Structure 1
């Protein structure tokens, strides 16, 4: 543990850039799964059309689930690196941030089972023959709806992650404060969107998540190309 911490303190740029690259992969995989797979195949309000799209593009549906799992696998090293990166600012808040991050990842990974269930209902297994096609389409669509709400619940925890990270970045001095503001706004948007989904679904909108995309993409690119400000990092380490 002490050896790993020492390595991190001596070479923060390597770890920061690694986190940035993985974060970018997370964004690309997430956008692909959500916009280029589910947004393309799901026809909201029409279970039959959705079922037909999934059955005719089964590989794409499965590929979207795989992309999501790649995203969550990348989450793990990123959250560990960010823990060490923000530790000099506040050990307790960095640990709380890590904990919320783990919770949201666990929720979202388990939630992927709903996408597999949606696919299973559209299969040709013997045990499904007691249901009519219309019933199977409805059950598949229901699994997709459950996934939507599970996704929103996971993002509620991630909203707090963004708020914590926004504060930690703002206080760090070795990452520009502007990213702290952007991540805080992203956190509020994630939380607002989930609350809207749960309390007033008609108000939930992907437009609410656009600031999140901008904030996270900007931070990932900064970490890749700039990393941390070494002088300020060394000052923070010395104080710690």
Structure 2
């Protein structure tokens, strides 16, 4: 794939853009539609009742999240090949950051399975009062939020690095790189605010997600519709060598 990508990256980049768009749609479905419609902030009982009554919707959001993480892997490979001619060292660092993020988020999905188990009415749970089951399910949901924030710290760092690489590449518009770097900064700000100052995080959401959506959506659409400037791509590839880019 590496040699084929170097000769004609456009099909791979457009595939990566489409997968990126799918990731964005699946992420919005899980966070906004599935969980957003069932989780009632501060109301443990209503949240538990909503999940118990809409198990398929909750499970659908979870399945969408896992499909999103599955799509992450080819996108990570495409970004690795796409940005390698700019700076091999920074590109590898961004790739590793992205892989850590994906691994953390996949493991974190166990916290979304737990409410289904606790609220499923299994016989072995009969000894536990319903109020305690509801509280445990709500705690698992809160734990998922913190696990999600931890994973996004690594993704935010990856976005910052990729934004810089895109800005320096010459075969993408510099504005795309700046928007992606801004998205990465917002990811980091949101995650650290949730961990260090939850009250501050409450005031940031949902406004902080506007630049995140703008940055990622702009990149995904540009990859899907325009791809790269082939003349600049060829010039960059020839100046750094087809396989090994310089590390500056």
* TM-score category (smaller protein): over 0.9
Match of 1:203 among 200, 204, 213: 200
Helix, strand or coil at the partner of 1:116:
helix
Give the distance between the partners of 1:58 and 1:207, measured in 2 at CA: 29
What's 1:33 paired with?
30
Structure 2 CA distance, aligned partners of 1:126 and 1:75? 38
The DSSP-based 3-state class of the residue aligned with 2:207 is helix
1:32-181 to structure 2, matched below 5 A, reads 32-181=29-178
Hey, what's the Cα distance between the residues in 1 that align with 2:103 and 2:78? Answer: 18
Could you say what secondary structure the match of 2:208 adopts? helix
State the Cα distance separating 1:208 from its structure 2 match.
1.1
TM-score w.r.t. length of structure 2: 0.94
SS of the counterpart of 1:206? coil
Task: Provide the C-alpha distance between the structure 1 equivalents of 2:8 and 2:234, rounded to a whole number of angstroms.
Answer: 11
Counterpart Cα distance in 1 of 2:117 and 2:211:
35
CA RMSD of aligned residues (A): 0.7
Describe how 1:8-19 pairs up with structure 2 within 5 A.
Answer: 8-19=5-16
Post-superposition offset of 1:28: 0.2
The runs of at least 4 consecutive aligned structure 1 residues that moved more than 3 Å come to none
2:243 equivalent in structure 1: none
3-state SS, counterpart of residue 191 of structure 1: helix
Match of 1:220 in 2: 220
How far apart are the structure 1 equivalents of 2:146 and 2:187?
A: 13
Q: Deviations over 1:56-79 (max 9, x none)?
A: 110000000000011000000000
Is 1:186 the equivalent of 2:179?
A: no
TM-superposed CA distance for 1:206, in Å, is 2.4
**Cα offset for 1:46?**
0.8
The 1-side partners of 2:173 and 2:30 are apart by 30
2-side partners of 1:15 and 1:48: how far apart?
47
What SS is found at the alignment partner of 1:117?
Answer: helix
Which sections of structure 2, spanning at least 5 residues, go unmatched? 241-248
In the aligned structure 2, how far is the partner of 1:175 from the partner of 1:118? 44
